[in-house]
């Protein structure tokens, strides 16, 4: 496959994982990503979470292209978040209509709003109040019925959107079960906006399969697949997998950058150990289980350092 046929790879936002330090370290060590997205910013009890506000601060983000994401159930909530984005100098925003977590979905946020076209339209209408902003949408096939996205499509086609990212599952599935590429294809055939595929992309073969089946796709968004193999986008750009030695070397460098950052910014042994251990929930799933077990059992930072050094010995 020639370079000109490469589709852009987008790094999906994942709460608790892809914070600013992670994104910065990923681009510095691995790269291959066209656009990074922040985990969603929300209004809660009339204000913003400090962590979410800090995560979008321009001085905390060094990646070349970043788009902040928002989640809202009402135009009032949406206006507040967009005003914050504008205050921070952003000219793009991604609206989350895909989050599958029941606690948010019950409040008609994320994929929980998809069965209610009139509520979705109010959010889309709100975008018109911000002519200087470019908007994109990340969504699912529906909350419980994959036809819900098709019911929304005429509405979405009528609004000015930079792109739509469609995760090929319904919200009730969360991240379980098969993706529904046939329902994605129906949407793909009728969508007038640039469309990005999302859902269960874990290997080079998965990427090439999607590009082959959907030749007019505008990009592929990957989340958990990149947490497991942070080199996946790079491998796609280079058209070859990294050797085990190359991979372990890069993971070692990536881990060192992140560890140094968190060590400088977190308080005490427990905070630091708990934060750096989250990296290993997805990272290198094929690693020898005895190494993973050692890392997960660590409670002291020096023991953790030794366990990681042993696991990543090149």
pLDDT at residue 314, rounded to an integer: 65
Q: How far apart are CA 131 and CA 289, in angstroms?
A: 52
Q: How far apart are CA 19 and CA 51, in angstroms?
A: 9
Of 189, 120, 222, 200, nearest in space to 161 by CA: 120
What tokens does 189 get?
């055939």
Would you call 211 helix, strand, or coil by DSSP? helix
Would you call 184 helix, strand, or coil by DSSP? helix
pLDDT at residue 145, rounded to an integer: 97
The H-assigned helical ranges of the chain are 20-29, 50-56, 75-87, 102-105, 117-127, 148-157, 181-190, 204-213, 224-228, 232-238, 244-265, 268-278, 289-297, 301-311
Strand order in the sheet with 219-222: 66-67, 35-37, 9-11, 219-222, 195-198, 164-170, 134-142, 92-97, 69-70
- 112-133 core/surface letters (b: 16 or more CB in 10 A; e: else): bbbbebeebebbbebbeebeee
pLDDT at residue 5, rounded to an integer: 77
Q: How far apart are CA 200 and CA 175, in angstroms?
A: 9
How confident is the model over 254-292, as pLDDT tens digits?
999 999 999 999 999 999 999 999 999 999 999 999 999
Question: Beta 219-222 vs 195-198: how paired, if at all?
Answer: parallel
Q: Concatenated DSSP letters for 46-104?
A: TB--HHHHHHH-GGG--SS-EE-EE--SSHHHHHHHHHHHHHTT--EEEEEE----HHH
Q: What do you get for the CA distance between the two ends of the chain, in Å?
A: 31
What pTM was estimated for this model as a whole? Answer: 0.96
Q: How many CA atoms lie within 13 A of 10 on its CB side?
A: 27
Using alpha carbons only, what angle is made at residue 155 by residues 150 and 156, rounded to the nearest 5 degrees? 80
Q: Which CATH architecture has domain 3-238?
A: Alpha-Beta Barrel (3.20)
pLDDT along the chain (314 residues), means of 10: 74 96 98 98 94 97 98 98 98 98 96 97 97 97 97 97 98 94 98 98 97 97 98 97 96 97 94 95 95 96 96 86
Domain residue ranges in the chain: 3-238, 244-311
Q: How far apart are CA 140 and CA 146, in angstroms?
A: 8
pLDDT at residue 4, rounded to an integer: 54
pLDDT at residue 45, rounded to an integer: 87
Of 184, 181, 107, nearest in space to 153 by CA: 184
């Amino acid at each position: 496959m020639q370079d000109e046929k490469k589709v852009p790879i987008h790094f999906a936002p994942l709460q608790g994982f892809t914070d600013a330090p992670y994104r910065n370290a990923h681009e510095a060590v691995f790269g291959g990503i066209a656009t990074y997205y922040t985990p969603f910013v929300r209004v809660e009890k009339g204000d913003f979470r400090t962590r979410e506000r800090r995560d979008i601060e321009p001085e905390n983000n060094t990646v070349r292209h970043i788009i902040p994401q928002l989640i809202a159930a009402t135009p009032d909530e949406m206006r507040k978040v967009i005003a914050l984005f504008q205050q921070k100098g952003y000219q793009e925003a991604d609206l989350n209509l895909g989050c599958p977590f029941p606690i948010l979905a019950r409040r008609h946020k994320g994929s929980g709003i998809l069965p209610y076209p009139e509520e979705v339209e109010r959010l889309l209408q709100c975008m018109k109040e911000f002519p200087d902003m470019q908007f994109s949408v990340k969504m699912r096939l529906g909350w419980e019925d994959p036809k819900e996205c098709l019911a929304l499509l005429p509405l979405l086609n009528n609004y000015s959107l930079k792109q739509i990212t469609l995760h090929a599952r319904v919200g009730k599935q969360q991240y379980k079960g098969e993706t529904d590429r046939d329902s994605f294809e129906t949407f793909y055939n009728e969508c007038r906006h640039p469309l990005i595929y999302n859902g269960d992309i874990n290997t080079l073969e998965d990427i090439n399969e999607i590009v082959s089946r959907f030749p007019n796709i505008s990009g592929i968004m990957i989340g958990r697949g990149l947490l497991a193999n942070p080199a996946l986008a790079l491998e796609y750009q280079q058209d070859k997998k990294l050797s085990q030695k190359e991979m372990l070397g890069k993971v070692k460098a990536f881990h060192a950058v992140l560890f140094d950052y968190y060590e400088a910014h977190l308080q005490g042994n427990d905070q630091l150990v708990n934060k750096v251990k989250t990296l290993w929930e997805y990272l290198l799933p094929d690693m020898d289980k005895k190494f993973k077990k050692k890392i997960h059992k660590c409670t002291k930072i020096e023991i953790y350092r030794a366990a990681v050094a042993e696991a990543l010995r090149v």
